[in-house]
């Protein structure tokens, strides 16, 4: 069935270091891969996404890479700041033309000042 | 542009009762998806509505239902509440696309409704 595995479940880094979160998806038909950041008491916030026809996308300190063959995609955050501390979720699109997203279990990122 | 709004933000209900949650999408968006978030199961898809039609449904019992109105606002209803229904219920708004378009639009989440069943 549809499944997204996300690792690690927790990640602690020093301010200024890089953080990497990895996800693996099971459905080869998935073609859209968003990443969300969720802070305490708030809904998930879309921070970056990538589509299956692109291998890499960057937005300032955040980048995402996609390996369709291996069904892997990763989030890279450089020069981490304390305000990057949050729970991060990866997701993969479900059946085409519907709003279904299959989410990973989340990664709690802690950036120590 | 106003974001996704959900009401109420917090609810406390008793087992056996029913509850209705509301979601107003971003102006111009025609698709609304609902998700349940719990510490144990994470974010799970409930259903999606596009132009007043349910287009996809997750693996939840029939006690969970929804609908969408002509102005794209959506409601979800949970009948005969169980303790395990305690969760954060999130709705996500998307531009959406009609049949035959194989493109997934970005989804933007509201703040959620925290439901506690006692």
Tens-digit pLDDT profile for residues B27-70: 999 999 999 999 989 999 999 999 999 988 999 999 999 999 99
Q: Is the minimum CB–CB distance between B38 and chain A shorter than 8 Å?
A: no
**Mutant choice from B7, B107, B109, B113 vs A, greatest count of A C-beta within 10 A:** B107
User: Would you state the pLDDT for residue A96?
Assistant: 67
Is B45 in contact with A102 (Cβ distance < 8 A)?
A: yes
User: Would you state the pLDDT for residue B25?
Assistant: 97
Is B33 in contact with A43 (Cβ distance < 8 A)?
A: no
pLDDT average, residue stretch A52-59: 91
Dump pLDDT digits (tens) for B80-114: 999 999 999 999 999 876 655 667 789 999 999 99
Is A99 in contact with B42 (Cβ distance < 8 A)?
A: no
User: Would you state the pLDDT for residue B102?
Assistant: 63
Dump pLDDT digits (tens) for B12-23: 999 999 999 999
Dump pLDDT digits (tens) for A72-109: 999 999 999 999 999 999 999 987 667 789 999 999 99
Dump pLDDT digits (tens) for A10-47: 999 999 999 999 999 999 889 899 999 999 999 999 99
Alpha-carbon torsion (B32, B34, B37, B40), positive or negative: negative
User: Would you state the pLDDT for residue B55?
Assistant: 87
The angle formed by the CA atoms of residues B48, B91 and A30, to the nearest 5 degrees, is: 50
């Amino acid at each position: 069935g549809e499944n997204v595995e996300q690792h690690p479940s927790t990640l602690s880094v020093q301010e200024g270091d890089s953080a990497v979160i990895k996800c693996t998806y099971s459905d080869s038909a998935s073609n859209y891969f968003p990443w969300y950041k969720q802070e305490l008491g708030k809904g998930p916030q879309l921070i970056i996404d990538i589509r299956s026809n692109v291998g890499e996308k960057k937005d300032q300190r955040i980048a995402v890479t996609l390996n369709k063959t291996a069904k892997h995609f990763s989030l890279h955050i450089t020069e981490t700041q304390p305000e990057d501390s949050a729970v991060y979720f990866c997701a993969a699109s479900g059946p085409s033309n519907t709003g279904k997203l299959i989410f990973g279990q989340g990664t709690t990122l802690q950036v120590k000042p | 542009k106003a974001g996704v709004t959900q009401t109420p933000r917090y609810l406390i209900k008793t087992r056996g009762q029913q509850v209705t949650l509301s979601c107003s999408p971003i102006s111009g968006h025609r698709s609304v998806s609902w998700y349940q978030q719990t510490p144990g199961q994470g974010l799970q898809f409930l259903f999606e509505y596009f132009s007043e039609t349910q287009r996809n449904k997750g693996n939840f019992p029939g006690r969970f239902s929804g609908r969408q109105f002509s102005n794209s606002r959506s409601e979800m209803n949970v009948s005969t509440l169980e303790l395990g229904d305690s969760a954060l219920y999130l709705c996500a708004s998307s531009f959406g696309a009609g049949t035959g378009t194989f493109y997934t639009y970005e989804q933007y989440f509201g703040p959620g409704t925290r439901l506690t069943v006692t």
